[in-house]
Amino acid sequence: MAAHQEKKLAEERKHQNMQNDTKTSQGQWGRAWEVDWFSLASILFLLMFAPLIVYYFIMSCAQYQCSLTDPLLDLLKGDKHLSDIWNRTPRLTYRAAGIYSLWVTFQVVLYLSIPDFCHKFLPGYVGGVQEGAVTPAGVVNKYEINGLQAWIITHVLWFANASCFHFFSPTIIFDNWIPLLWCANILGYTVSTFAMIKGYFFPTNAKDCKFTGNFFYDYMMGIEFNPRIGKWFDFKLFFNGRPGIVAWTLINLSFAAKQQELYGEVTNSMILVNVLQGIYVLDFFWNEAWYLKTIDICHDHFGWYLGWGDCVWLPYLYTLQGLYLVYYPVQLGTAHAVGVLMLGLLGYYIFRMTNHQKDLFRRTNGNCRIWGKKPEYIECSYMSVDGTKYYSKLMTSGFWGWARHFNYTGDLMGSLAYCLACGFEHILPYFYIIYMTILLTHRCIRDEHRCSSKYGKDWKHYTAAVPYRLLPGIF
Ligand code: NDP
């Protein structure tokens, strides 16, 4: 009996030690195990106010001609009550619920049931089954990369309907914009809550789960790293790409169609926004395999931040320029329009080339040429949960020698171009550049914190070799 108890105690101790080891080792890599008060306060703020912020922007356009100050002034002066604004807000309709359900179901079908055929005939395109990066638990997930195909099919059907079949008006998205917002919220909250429950009760990979013990933090930042249903339905890849990014260009097209309906023409500003954001979206799908190596997939866990963010924040706030231009059909002078186009294309070039340089460098393990020369780099190492040592390289030449996140700088230049296309009448279309500056600066800091924990002294050597984050000589 005593021997049995001794054995049981020893097993419990061993289990405890294993958990501690896991915690120590994972603590060096991946998102936080413990929540500081600032993170908690930010998370509570976002959980409470992000849905209101989205509503406020969309309502301001619908009821106040895109003025962000007028609703507040009306409320402060007592000219209007909250109930007045709410009573004028369209409710959830059966029609919007039907459109949204059909839309999401269609994207699920495209995602799950049509294996990629684009890589068979498009030279240079990487699609089909691809591997993601090694997770902290040492897992390498496989993904079916077929986003480009889903985007093409969706848009071909959209144009076929608009020009031949006329089953529905191309203004359908604009015409149901607020009722659709309620549907997007329902999906966003459902999927985030489901992901939380799944993390507790039936995770895809228990070793890649993180629990801080703080409900709000876990709900927001996610527990599971790569939640899946079945072998192929990956939450992160699906929700970011499909209801989020495929929708982006369709929403812009619907706004352009509304301009045509209301004013009999589509302005050059609307065309610029459609073209520049269209390039960004197409780039995303052309490089979907590369997306598997970005922070979203490699490091973020799937919680409300990604689930609700992809369903609501992204399609509603990334498209504010197009929405604004429906209310203010700005026709830009030639110099202004050319300036916006140049800034947008230059930003895109920097964004793409910087991302491409890192991708090429990592894929070839440094055996490539960057700007005609062999890349320079710093050798580094890190450990996974099971104690396996891995080796990696951090490039210090090309755009990666100019700044540690020059891809973000290009992204910010492109974002500014979308906003400048809307003229200078209102602040609302500039929300995007303000938001992206905060997002990407915060992301720099977050990523560097993680990389520093992951690579230790090797990261210090790297930051000494490339001292600036976004702007050489400044920041
Ligand atoms: P990065 O593509 O810059 O990836 C950062 C990771 O790259 C690091 O964690 C590290 O990962 C590795 N790395 C860092 N420095 C080097 C180096 N010198 N050499 C080789 N590898 C390095 O960041 P993101 O995933 O955040 O962004 C990808 C793109 O997506 C960016 O262009 C960004 O602008 C864009 N983006 C757009 C958003 C939007 O909402 N529009 C939102 C977020 C991003 P490792 O652990 O592998 O070493």
Same domain? For 247 and 327 the reply is yes
Q: Is 130 a pocket residue for ligand 1 (Cβ < 6 Å)?
A: no
Same domain? For 263 and 358 the reply is no
pLDDT bracket for residue 32 (50, 70, 90): low
d(CA 97, CA 227): 26
| CA 308 – ligand 1 centroid, Å | 22
* Rg of the chain in Å (alpha carbons): 24
Structure tokens at 81: 């009550």
The kind and range of the H/E element at 274 are: helix 268-286
Q: Which atom of ligand 1 is nearest to the CA of 411?
A: 34
Digit-coded pLDDT (tens) for 259-302: 999 999 999 999 999 999 999 999 999 999 988 888 788 888 99
Q: Is 405 a residue whose pLDDT tops 80?
A: yes
Q: Is 400 a pocket residue for ligand 1 (Cβ < 6 Å)?
A: yes
CA 392 distance to own-chain centroid: 25
pLDDT bracket for residue 440 (50, 70, 90): very high
Among residues 331, 326, 340, 351, the alpha carbon closest in space to that of 408 is found at 351
Place of tokens 């924990």: 453
Among residues 382, 383, 301, 387, the alpha carbon closest in space to that of 18 is found at 387
pLDDT bracket for residue 27 (50, 70, 90): very low
Give the domain-ending residue among 331, 361, 382: 331
How many distinct structural domains can be found in the chain?
A: 2
Q: Is 408 a pocket residue for ligand 1 (Cβ < 6 Å)?
A: yes
Length of the chain: 475
Digit-coded pLDDT (tens) for 141-173: 999 999 999 999 999 999 999 999 999 999 999
> For 458, which DSSP code?
H
Same domain? For 95 and 207 the reply is yes
Q: Is 240 a pocket residue for ligand 1 (Cβ < 6 Å)?
A: no
Residue range 383-393: average pLDDT?
80
Instruction: Indicate the pTM of the whole model.
Output: 0.89
Place of tokens 């799950």: 112
Q: Burial-class residue 284 by CB neighbours within 10 Å (0-12, 13-18, 19+).
A: buried
Contact (CB, 8 A) for 261 and 332: no
6 in a structural domain:
no
For 23-32, 310-319, 401-410, which range has the lowest pLDDT when averaged over its residues? 23-32
Q: Which atom of ligand 1 is nearest to the CA of 380?
A: 48
Helices (H), 35-93: 37-64, 70-77, 82-87
Contact (CB, 8 A) for 349 and 341: no
Same domain? For 185 and 54 the reply is yes
Same domain? For 351 and 454 the reply is yes
Contact (CB, 8 A) for 474 and 411: no
Same domain? For 58 and 94 the reply is yes
218 in a structural domain:
yes
2 in a structural domain:
no
Q: Is 412 a pocket residue for ligand 1 (Cβ < 6 Å)?
A: no
4 in a structural domain:
no
Residue 97 neighbours by CB under 8 Å, 6+ apart: 179, 183
Same domain? For 341 and 311 the reply is no
70 in a structural domain:
yes
d(CA 458, CA 28): 14
Digit-coded pLDDT (tens) for 59-112: 999 999 999 999 999 999 999 999 999 999 999 999 999 999 999 999 999 999
User: pLDDT at position 34, please?
Assistant: 67
Domain of residue 207: give its range.
38-331
Q: Is 66 a pocket residue for ligand 1 (Cβ < 6 Å)?
A: no
d(CA 59, CA 68): 9
d(CA 419, CA 433): 7
Give the domain-ending residue among 314, 331, 348: 331
Task: Supply the residue whose CA is at minimum distance from atom 10 of ligand 1.
Answer: 451
Give the domain-ending residue among 297, 331, 365: 331
Taken in order 393, 398, 401, 404, the sign of the CA dihedral is: negative
194 in a structural domain:
yes
d(CA 438, CA 42): 13
Same domain? For 298 and 343 the reply is no
Same domain? For 307 and 364 the reply is no
Contact (CB, 8 A) for 193 and 47: no
User: pLDDT at position 37, please?
Assistant: 85
Same domain? For 297 and 346 the reply is no
Task: Supply the residue whose CA is at minimum distance from atom 39 of ligand 1.
Answer: 436
The kind and range of the H/E element at 97 are: helix 94-113
Contact (CB, 8 A) for 309 and 47: no
14 in a structural domain:
no
Residue range 218-226: average pLDDT?
94
d(CA 220, CA 196): 9
Q: Which atom of ligand 1 is nearest to the CA of 133?
A: 47
Structure tokens at 290: 């590369």
Taken in order 306, 139, 290, 105, the sign of the CA dihedral is: negative
Ligand 1, residues 449, 451, 454, 470: which to mutate, most atoms within 8 A of Cβ? 451
33 in a structural domain:
no
Same domain? For 125 and 236 the reply is yes
More confident residue, 208 or 383: 208
Same domain? For 221 and 260 the reply is yes
